[in-house]
Amino acid sequence: MDLTAWRTFVTVCRLGSLSAAADELGYTQSAVSRQIAGLERRLGAPLVERRVRGTHPTPAGEVFRHHALMTLNEADRAVRAVRDAHEGASARPLTVGATPSLAAGIVPAAIRSLLQMSGPTPWTLSPGLTADLQHRVIAGDLDIAVITDAPPGLPNDPRVDRHFLGMDEMVVALPTAHPRADHGPLRIEDLTDQTWAEDNDGSAALLRQHAARAGVTVHIDLTAADLPGKTALVATGHAIALIPGVLRSALRPDITTVRLVDPPARGIYVITRRYAQHPSAGPLLTQLAMAFTTDHSVAVIPHDAVTEISDDEAGQQD
């Protein structure tokens, strides 16, 4: 089967639109429709359905998308490997993924240490949310990813090895001129009159759960598109926010943080493919553990206690 149609189908699923896929790939919309229809005829099943809010894969399409993405990634790597071999390149790039807060400090620091120890190594860093990063590791798009067990929890998949780094305490970000900026630790009850900003469902769930345990409600009135947007709302005095402790060293100078009493926390994990791991994945894991425990955030598990958790333990984290 022609992989061009496979790539078109995966792009339609990612963008949720035939026209958007056509624009990105440089095709006409009718050409995209013909490629999808051809795939459906060959596979004998409908792959997409058109809804009011865009185009979505059918159950059969979702199964095919999963395998198609892995196949396309392998094909791309095969092409790169041939070109690298022809051009005399000695190593394939190490592809690293991380959640936004970890990509802002811990992960770059670990990569710097890795390069200092092992010498020049081509690498890339791609931020994303936990579920997407794990899927990309499984699909072969990433060699290693640093993720968290913040709600909705860690996806459990036997195709990845999971390594526990430690616990990260969440803190409250305030503008430096905030009247409570020099106080702490604070009780969440003292902050119920504040406007909160959030940028993702996982962080919002941690905040609401923490408030619920104290028997109070917080008001998340502002929503940001991403972590930089959330911190910008804090810096300009529009809101306060719950942020990961690992982010503190990377905050802009017009933001400060205070700790909470009995704070919410999230586990930090590294995942790698169970088979065909990149040779630098193991050494980077070691550097990630060291970077985590030497950061100013609350990391309660030392780096020499890094272990791979069992499937049963992984299930308890979901």
Residue-wise pLDDT for 149-191, tens only, equals: 998 888 788 999 999 999 999 999 999 999 988 877 999 999 9
Residue 318 has pLDDT above 80, yes or no: no
Q: Which helix (H) or strand (E) holds 285?
A: helix 281-294
The tens digit of pLDDT for each residue in 25-79 reads 999 999 999 999 999 999 999 999 988 888 999 999 999 998 898 888 878 877 8
Residue with tokens 């931020």: 127
Q: Where do the CATH 1.10.10.10 domains begin and end in the chain? A: 3-86
Fold of 168-265: D-Maltodextrin-Binding Protein; domain 2 (3.40.190)
Count the neighbouring beta carbons within 10 Å of the beta carbon of residue 198.
23
Give residue 71's pLDDT. Answer: 87
Give residue 87's pLDDT. Answer: 67
d(CA 187, CA 228): 26
Confidence band, pLDDT 50/70/90 cuts, at residue 294? confident
The two three-digit tokens of residue 143, written as one number: 């060699």
Q: Where do the CATH 3.40.190.10 domains begin and end in the chain? A: 93-167+266-317, 168-265
The burial class, CB within 10 Å (0-12 / 13-18 / 19+), for 318 is: exposed
Mean pLDDT taken over the chain: 86
CATH code of the region 93-167+266-317? 3.40.190.10
Give residue 232's pLDDT. Answer: 95
- Stretch 246-265: mean pLDDT, rounded? 92
CA nearest to 50, candidates 93, 99, 16, 7: 16
The two three-digit tokens of residue 311, written as one number: 């499937």
Strand partners, 163: 270, 308
Residue 210 has pLDDT above 90, yes or no: yes
User: What is the domain class of 3-86 according to CATH?
Assistant: mainly alpha
Q: Which helix (H) or strand (E) holds 24?
A: helix 18-25
Q: Name the percent of the chain lying above pLDDT 90.
A: 62
The two three-digit tokens of residue 30, written as one number: 């009718």
Alpha helices in 46-176 (DSSP H): 59-87, 100-103, 106-118, 130-139
Confidence band, pLDDT 50/70/90 cuts, at residue 112? very high
Give residue 316's pLDDT. Answer: 32
Residue 126 has pLDDT above 60, yes or no: yes
Residue 125 has pLDDT above 70, yes or no: yes
Give residue 108's pLDDT. Answer: 94
